[in-house]
Amino acid sequence: MDIINITCAEIQTPVGFVYVVLPVIMNHTNNPDCEQSWHLEDGSLIVDPSDPQRLIDPVISVSSDRLVTSLCVNLNYQIICDSADGSFSHEIKFRVRNETAVTPNSDHFWWILAVFIIALLIIILICLMKRKRIFRDPESGVRMRFNTS
């Protein structure tokens, strides 16, 4: 089994999100003894091997070497071949990351951090101002001196 980690931006095209089968498997894809299937991460079938013309949402198109979807999702590809020469099977897991979803959350983090720092500075300033008042004579406004001898 192969796991392919990609970002949505890497597979996005004007027609949709394109998932490409590894070149190593290409010599098996046109073999009539082989059956290909595409599944969502939860195991839901999105291209029926018995009826490849029946496409299930979010699939836009499918060919022997690629699948195009309208959404960027995690997918599993499987090929199973049973012939007189022997059997072959292979699975590919496409794991995608949506990079644009990270940006708003990180922006929120920086705003929260900035507000926290400003609040902390205000608290420190208030504490310093109160501390100075403690050492002043409230009636005369003059600092009190303490005799240490």
* Total domain count, the chain: 2
Domain range spanning residue 128? 102-141
| Least confident stretch, 6-10, 104-108, 138-142 | 138-142
Burial of 147 (0-12, 13-18, 19+ CB in 10 A): exposed
**CATH classification at residue 48:** 2.60.40.10
Tell me, yes or no, whether 90 and 118 share the same domain. Answer: no
pLDDT tens for each residue of 91-133:
999 999 987 644 445 567 778 888 899 999 999 888 888 877 6
Residue 65: DSSP 8-state: S
Tell me, yes or no, whether 77 and 93 share the same domain. Answer: yes
pLDDT tens for each residue of 63-82:
888 999 999 999 999 988 88
